[in-house]
Amino acid sequence: MRPIGTAHLPLHSGKAPPWLFNRMAKLAKEILALLVTDYGAQEVIRRFADPFWFQAFGCLLGFDWHSSGITTTVTGATKEALRDIGPHLGLFIAGGKGRASRETPQELREAAERVGFNPHPLIYASRMSAKVDNTALQDGYQLYHHSIIFTPEGYWAVVQQGMNTANRYARRYHWLSEGLSSFVEEPHKAVCAMAKGKALNMVAMESAQAREGVVSLIEEYHPQALVKEMKKLQELKMPPRHAILLKDIRLERIKNGLKEAYERAPKHFQELLETPGLGPKTLRALCLTAEVIYGTPVSFRDPARFAFAHGGKDGHPYPVDREVYDTTIEMLREALRRAHLGITEKERAQRRLDTL
């Protein structure tokens, strides 16, 4: 699994109107079928992991290029599109917004029972991608949407989105299974954003010593002793960035997370991150304490580094033309039919040659 991009999008209220969403699902169905026919399901996975392609796909479906709703609506339309043809294409999607995101593990199990594959690696990838972006990367965006698109062979991409109510923006994270070497070592390959901010980045390359320091703290200090050290941080005159990061931490509330981590005795940072109850504030307190005790600095580098075909639902850059939209669907449907027909004709010709 490899996150390869991030996008900043302004938060927009409202929903895609039914007439548009229904068309989005139909058009997505034809596009996905055509892509799988020409390039294979694994290539579709790669494209969903590309934030630029995903954004362009949303624009092609007729949604606003600069809206946070493009994430939830495009993945929702994809889910509807694959509901019937997914098993035929060998392509599935699980998760969604809010409550639907929490149903991802069950949806993965149901898909596994339906077509026959081991769902556990996918469930782990789903959970870890969310844990990394919500806890190990603290950039001010709280995740509220999580989707995973996958094949029974184990190729997958995660598209998830976080919300920052202060600046009224959403940030989207893309993950890719292909080529992953580590969950916690410089996972971002390409990041797109309109602005950067302050971030506690425990997955940055320069945070390698900090990750080791945090694990050492758990190994060497009892939770009660750790809390005492953390209280000293709040009492000492620390640099401004530390004051910002520590001001909202109530040490009494993180004791359970520290105890759980201590009892699990993780051997490396990724295992520590898997600890139930280890949230952003607990990890923040740990990494800052490790910096004081071991001199292991943590990175504060924000990893964050678009095309219309049918208009947008809000009328920007122009209203959606329903007639043109329906024509596009029919054109792609006909192209797909001809593609399948071409394959059939080739098979018949091959059989004739074999007979001769």
pLDDT digits (tens, 9 = 90+) for 167-223: 777 788 899 999 878 888 766 554 555 556 778 889 888 999 999 999 999 999 898
> Is 336 part of any domain?
no
Q: Are residues 270 and 232 in the same domain?
A: yes
Predicted local confidence at residue 8, as pLDDT = 55
> Is 219 part of any domain?
yes
Predicted local confidence at residue 12, as pLDDT = 53
Per-residue pLDDT band at 232 (split at 50, 70, 90): confident
> Is 310 part of any domain?
no
Q: Are residues 212 and 83 in the same domain?
A: no
Q: At what angle do helices 223-235 and 255-264 cross, to 10 degrees?
A: 140
Residue type, 354: D
Predicted local confidence at residue 124, as pLDDT = 95
Q: Are residues 11 and 102 in the same domain?
A: yes
Higher pLDDT, 252 or 267: 267
- The answer to whether residues 245 and 199 touch, using CB atoms and an 8 Å cutoff, is no
- First and final C-alpha spacing in the chain: 49
Q: Are residues 183 and 239 in the same domain?
A: no
pLDDT surpassing 50 at residue 243: no
> Is 42 part of any domain?
yes
Higher pLDDT, 284 or 91: 91
Return the percentage of the chain with pLDDT > 70, whole number.
71
> Is 211 part of any domain?
yes
Provide the whole-model pTM: 0.76
Question: For 127-154, what is the mean pLDDT?
Answer: 92
Q: Are residues 280 and 152 in the same domain?
A: no
Domain boundary among 163, 196, 229: 196
Instruction: Return the DSSP state at 319.
Output: B
Q: Are residues 209 and 192 in the same domain?
A: no
Q: Are residues 177 and 285 in the same domain?
A: no
pLDDT surpassing 70 at residue 10: no
80-113 core/surface letters (b: 16 or more CB in 10 A; e: else): bbbeeebeebbbbbbbbbeebbeebbebbeebbe
pLDDT surpassing 70 at residue 331: no
Question: For 70-74, what is the mean pLDDT?
Answer: 84
Question: For 55-78, what is the mean pLDDT?
Answer: 75
What's the whole-number average pLDDT of the chain? 79
The span from the CA of 346 to the CA of 342, in Å, is 6
Domain boundary among 294, 311, 340: 294
Q: Are residues 114 and 44 in the same domain?
A: yes
Domain boundary among 169, 196, 223: 196
Element (H, E) at 8: strand 2-10
The span from the CA of 344 to the CA of 348, in Å, is 6
Element (H, E) at 279: none
> Among positive and negative, which fits the CA dihedral 230, 208, 51, 121?
negative
Structure tokens at 301: 């580098």
Predicted local confidence at residue 307, as pLDDT = 36
Predicted local confidence at residue 89, as pLDDT = 94
Q: Are residues 57 and 161 in the same domain?
A: yes
Predicted local confidence at residue 237, as pLDDT = 52
Higher pLDDT, 240 or 138: 138
> Is 317 part of any domain?
no
How many structural domains does the chain have? Answer: 2
Element (H, E) at 145: strand 142-150
Predicted local confidence at residue 21, as pLDDT = 77
The span from the CA of 65 to the CA of 45, in Å, is 21
The span from the CA of 254 to the CA of 179, in Å, is 35
**Paired residues of 148 in beta bridges:** 94, 158
> Is 118 part of any domain?
yes
Per-residue pLDDT band at 308 (split at 50, 70, 90): very low
- The answer to whether residues 194 and 8 touch, using CB atoms and an 8 Å cutoff, is yes
The span from the CA of 207 to the CA of 302, in Å, is 13
Instruction: Return the DSSP state at 356.
Output: -
> Is 348 part of any domain?
no
Range(s) of the domain holding residue 284: 205-294
Per-residue pLDDT band at 340 (split at 50, 70, 90): low
Per-residue pLDDT band at 24 (split at 50, 70, 90): confident
Q: How many helices (H) and strands (E) does the chain have?
A: 14, 7
Of 236, 297, 203, nearest to 2 by C-alpha is 203
Q: Are residues 209 and 138 in the same domain?
A: no
Q: Are residues 188 and 235 in the same domain?
A: no
Q: Which has the minimum average pLDDT: 80-89, 230-239, 247-256?
A: 230-239
Q: Are residues 45 and 191 in the same domain?
A: yes
Return the percentage of the chain with pLDDT > 90, whole number.
35
pLDDT surpassing 70 at residue 92: yes
